Structure 1
Amino acid sequence: MRQNKLDVHVRWRPLNESEAAGGQIEQQRGAGTTSSLSSLSVDCPSTGNCRAWMSPPAFQSVLGPHDDNAYVYESIASPAITDILRGGSCNFFAYGHSGSGKTHTIIGYDYEEDSKLGLCLAASKKLFEALDSLQARGIETDDDECRLGIGFSLFELRRNTAFDLLNERKGCHIREGADGKTHIRGQTEMMDGGRVRVQPLTQRACWTFDSLREELKQSFGRRATGSSTVHDQSSRTHAVLKLEIVNRRLMEARAAVVERESELVPVGKRATDIAIEEQTKGVMKNAEGAWVVNPDYQVNQTRIDEADAEKSIYEARVAAAKEHVDTLLSSDETGCLGGKMVFVDLAGSEYQTEKGAQGVKQTSQERQEGRQINTDLLALKEVIRAWSADEVRIPFRLSPLTMVLREHFVGAAGGTSAMIVTVSPAKSQYAATLNSLKYGSLVGMASS
């Protein structure tokens, strides 16, 4: 079994026009003496007591300002495609301060030109090409129910709430279930016959790259922005995008699970109500105020047992529906059904709390959000450290971010995963850049 590993890369973005006059940070890449990893040193731009900083050998690669998105994809994400087509999973994170190029790297701002596509769109295009090739070679059946496509979900995490960007940004609850897994649940819908349907996070199936690109473009435009310590249009949320190889049969089977669960709700509630009613009638208070057996009432155990038996039938239906999903995934002839790529555009890391280097004033709520973001990012570092070391206990409960990523870390065991630390070369952003590099080096050392 391969060890869990997360490669860390650094990507320097180009200077923009407003930063050119202020000068550029001097940086130099070095190779470790006992490792294939690279170190990175940056010179302090001030003339005070500030000293140059050098990282330990922690970075898999260092990408320069002239390396476009296509090069980043080929260098970092492309090797994972083979694993995904075998049903595997992988995670890609973009970490950095506000304005350093995280969203440009993960999503991209030009949805048409191949060299400017973000990692998620470049990967989905390659996956569609591979799926089309499978169909052309006859590996995939002509049955429309088994036609392979890509299902994607997209949500943003702001403080303790997830917002479904494929469902008009509706809020979702983050809950840990009895199965030990973290579930993201949407709106509760009351239906006929007392049924209650709890909508799962939206997953939309796309059968062509063009349709996925258009859906992603529209949904990502709903992401919230706010003021950071750097600028006033910073992404103040963590965006999590999941691509999964699906077919219509799998999507229908998952919808059936939700339907069976909705049917179980009124039956389960009735069984609970009957048990409580019978047990309540079976006790009474005595003269001293203590609860004792009620001699005038005999608990109707038959009624309780009948309600429990009906509940068991519906529970079995839920279990059968879930088992059918598992069977579809395990019996897939192509071997790629259920393969996942998860892309996380982390909120901009904060290193100040009052006023940023560019003079952007934050509200108290935005400063509070900044503290929560930092808490999430520190928790992520601890999870990566424990996951890479294959520890028995991985602290997923440290923050909402690590809770919702639990499934993806567990599923990516032994696969290809990476973090891209995006940094600005502007001298005015030296403190933020240094903070990002230090975080990246700690993650790189922990997972090396």
Structure 2
Amino acid sequence: MPPKQAQKLTPFNVYIRWRPLPEEPGATEIKKTQSSGGDGHSVSLSLPDASGSSSGRGARSWTSAPSFSKVFEADDNNRGVYENVVSQTLPKIMAGKTCNFFAYGHTGSGKTHTIVGYDHEDPQQVGLCLSAAKELFQKIEELNGSVESDQKLAVGLRMYEVRKKSAFDLLNEHTECFVREGPDGKIHVRGETETLEGGKVRVKPIMMVPCWTFEELRVVLEKGLDLRATGNSTVHDKSSRTHAVFELEIVNKALVEAKDAVIERQAELVPHGKFATDVYLEENSQRYIQGSDGKYMVNPDHTINQERIDAAEATKREYEERVELAEATVQEIFTTSQHPCLGGKFVFVDLAGSEYYDQKSSTSAAGSKQTAEEKQEGRQINSDLFALKEVIRARSSNQARIPFRSSPLTMVLREHFLGSDDGFSAMILTVSPAADQYAATMNTVKYGNLVAMAGVS
């Protein structure tokens, strides 16, 4: 593989990665070429006709814009992809920024191989996520020698998959979590409501596991991978049909404890907030009565107990202030940290199979293999991928309104995108050179071309 070259980091870079031709009898390869122009690379794809001609009546061809940052060939291993795409962004993470990486492609084209890898012992084939984690640990170990125990840095791991309109926590027994926008305007991904002693109600967010060594993180990640959902696709009987999200955040003990305290204070607030609302509704519901003519009028025998309402509101406000104080403590930890890397975050997203993005390319025979539920999931995946492209387009063109609410996927990624204003985002298109996958490969590259053009518009 040629030596790594410095690249211009645009708001959203898109790369192409070719997988090897499947070792199947009679497998034929599409014709593919690439050329450089300006700041990017373009690719040309063609499928010869039955006679082998690329210009005959039955031949098909397509050429992209010069929008791709780099094209990786089939003999480029995961290490080479990591060094060219991810490694150069490490200084941004060590400055506390967020960098996002997406893998997009047809089922079986190498998305999960790229993000996670299947051989975690081979340094040349370890996926981008674990390679990034290993390099993060090397960096923070250099910093940990000169700080107190509660300031020592670790890597917090979150793993979850987005399926239809929910997220499933891969580090918490695949617990279903719900994607909601809170009154603070932020997106929250939280599990079922849990009632504790004393009437406290706790709603746990996606679990974050602080890991103090690379080996510890690898073990936790591998356990989470065992819970990923699979199902029938138009290509393989078993394939990923969810978007899997892997977050690596630089944390320390003080930050982890402070964030846990926020969750506890929020749990304490819930019953008092509910009580204040109940008191207000109870007092006001008795204010009106229904007359004999069926119309409502003011009840002359009822006086609203404003003192009772005010007392409930005062108690609620007291607990709101406790939440605010806990949140302020989190912010103080960031501002007083000895290291600006605290909170720096890698986000890796293994997107669902791109065959769902264009169902018209699926044959009826293949489509019949899917259950009704999986077809519904396919429509949601289609919506997610379209929404992702539109978010990238809106961000790159500095639109006042960015359509994060368009899908659960973009809602989940909202904070990561907003946190990457000074960071970096990229998409790796994984594609197959097999002739029988020409339509799937072309659709993937067309989508990536649109994303790349949107990312620099």
The reply on whether 1:296 has 2:296 as its aligned counterpart is: no
Gaps of 5+ in 2: 1-7, 51-56
Q: Could you tell me how far 1:303 is from its partner in structure 2? A: 1.3
Name the structure 2 match of 1:62: 71
Name the structure 2 match of 1:389: 397
User: For the residues of structure 1 that align with 2:447 and 2:422, how far apart are their CA atoms?
Assistant: 23
1:7 is aligned with what amino acid? N
Name the structure 2 match of 1:231: 236
What SS is found at the alignment partner of 2:100? strand
Q: Could you tell me how far 1:285 is from its partner in structure 2? A: 2.3
2:420 is aligned with what amino acid? A
Matches within 5 A, 1:85-164: 85-136=94-145, 138=146, 141=147, 143-164=148-169
The reply on whether 1:191 has 2:199 as its aligned counterpart is: no
Q: Could you tell me how far 1:447 is from its partner in structure 2? A: 1.2
Q: Which moved more, 1:65-74 or 1:108-117?
A: 108-117
Matches within 5 A, 1:204-215: 204-215=209-220
User: For the residues of structure 1 that align with 2:94 and 2:204, how far apart are their CA atoms?
Assistant: 29
Name the structure 2 match of 1:437: 445
Q: Could you tell me how far 1:355 is from its partner in structure 2? A: 3.8
Maintained 8 Å contact 2:283/2:304: yes
Maintained 8 Å contact 1:4/1:390: no
What SS is found at the alignment partner of 1:405? helix
What SS is found at the alignment partner of 1:113? coil
Q: C-alpha deviations, 1:136-163, integer Å up to 9, x for none?
A: 4x2xx1x221110000111111111111
Q: Could you tell me how far 1:299 is from its partner in structure 2? A: 1.7
Maintained 8 Å contact 1:3/1:388: no
Q: Which moved more, 1:392-401 or 1:89-98?
A: 392-401
1:388 is aligned with what amino acid? S
Match of 2:410 among 402, 406, 414: 402
The reply on whether 1:26 has 2:31 as its aligned counterpart is: yes
Maintained 8 Å contact 2:171/2:224: yes
Name the structure 1 match of 2:14: 8
User: For the residues of structure 1 that align with 2:369 and 2:195, how far apart are their CA atoms?
Assistant: 44
Q: Could you tell me how far 1:228 is from its partner in structure 2? A: 1.1
Q: C-alpha deviations, 1:76-117, integer Å up to 9, x for none?
A: 000111100010001000000111000000010111111111
Name the structure 2 match of 1:413: 421
Q: Could you tell me how far 1:364 is from its partner in structure 2? A: 2.7
User: For the residues of structure 2 that align with 1:266 and 1:361, how far apart are their CA atoms?
Assistant: 48
What SS is found at the alignment partner of 1:62? strand
Q: TM-score, normalized by length of structure 2?
A: 0.93
1:367 is aligned with what amino acid? K
User: For the residues of structure 1 that align with 2:201 and 2:71, how far apart are their CA atoms?
Assistant: 51
What SS is found at the alignment partner of 1:116? coil
Q: C-alpha deviations, 1:407-442, integer Å up to 9, x for none?
A: 111111132211000000111111100111111111
1:371 is aligned with what amino acid? R
Q: Could you tell me how far 1:178 is from its partner in structure 2? A: 1.3
Q: Could you tell me how far 1:360 is from its partner in structure 2? A: 8.1
Maintained 8 Å contact 2:97/2:422: no
Maintained 8 Å contact 1:232/1:360: no
Change in Cα spacing, 1:308 to 1:360, as seen in structure 2 (3 Å) is closer
1:40 is aligned with what amino acid? V
Match of 1:344 among 349, 353, 378: 349
Q: Could you tell me how far 1:284 is from its partner in structure 2? A: 2.1
What SS is found at the alignment partner of 2:190? strand
2:12 is aligned with what amino acid? L
Name the structure 1 match of 2:39: 36
Q: TM-score, normalized by length of structure 1?
A: 0.95
Change in Cα spacing, 1:273 to 1:371, as seen in structure 2 (3 Å) is closer
User: For the residues of structure 2 that align with 1:81 and 1:235, how far apart are their CA atoms?
Assistant: 29
User: For the residues of structure 2 that align with 1:360 and 1:107, how far apart are their CA atoms?
Assistant: 30
User: For the residues of structure 2 that align with 1:313 and 1:358, how far apart are their CA atoms?
Assistant: 59
1:326 is aligned with what amino acid? Q
Maintained 8 Å contact 1:206/1:212: yes
Maintained 8 Å contact 1:355/1:362: no
User: For the residues of structure 1 that align with 2:48 and 2:444, how far apart are their CA atoms?
Assistant: 17
Q: C-alpha deviations, 1:256-303, integer Å up to 9, x for none?
A: 111111111111122122222222233322333332222222221111
Change in Cα spacing, 1:357 to 1:58, as seen in structure 2 (3 Å) is farther
User: For the residues of structure 1 that align with 2:48 and 2:133, how far apart are their CA atoms?
Assistant: 41
The reply on whether 1:379 has 2:382 as its aligned counterpart is: no
Q: C-alpha deviations, 1:376-420, integer Å up to 9, x for none?
A: 111111111111112111111111111111111111113221100
Deviation above 6 Å: which 4+ runs of structure 1? 356-360
User: For the residues of structure 1 that align with 2:178 and 2:367, how far apart are their CA atoms?
Assistant: 36
User: For the residues of structure 2 that align with 1:389 and 1:159, how far apart are their CA atoms?
Assistant: 28
Change in Cα spacing, 1:376 to 1:45, as seen in structure 2 (3 Å) is farther
The reply on whether 1:306 has 2:306 as its aligned counterpart is: no
1:108 is aligned with what amino acid? G
Q: C-alpha deviations, 1:326-349, integer Å up to 9, x for none?
A: 111122111010001100000001
Of structures 1 and 2, the one with the larger relative CO (CA 8 A, separation 6+) is 1
User: For the residues of structure 2 that align with 1:305 and 1:181, how far apart are their CA atoms?
Assistant: 28
Name the structure 1 match of 2:258: 253
User: For the residues of structure 2 that align with 1:8 and 1:244, how far apart are their CA atoms?
Assistant: 23
Identity %: 52
Match of 2:88 among 79, 83, 89: 79
Name the structure 1 match of 2:369: 361
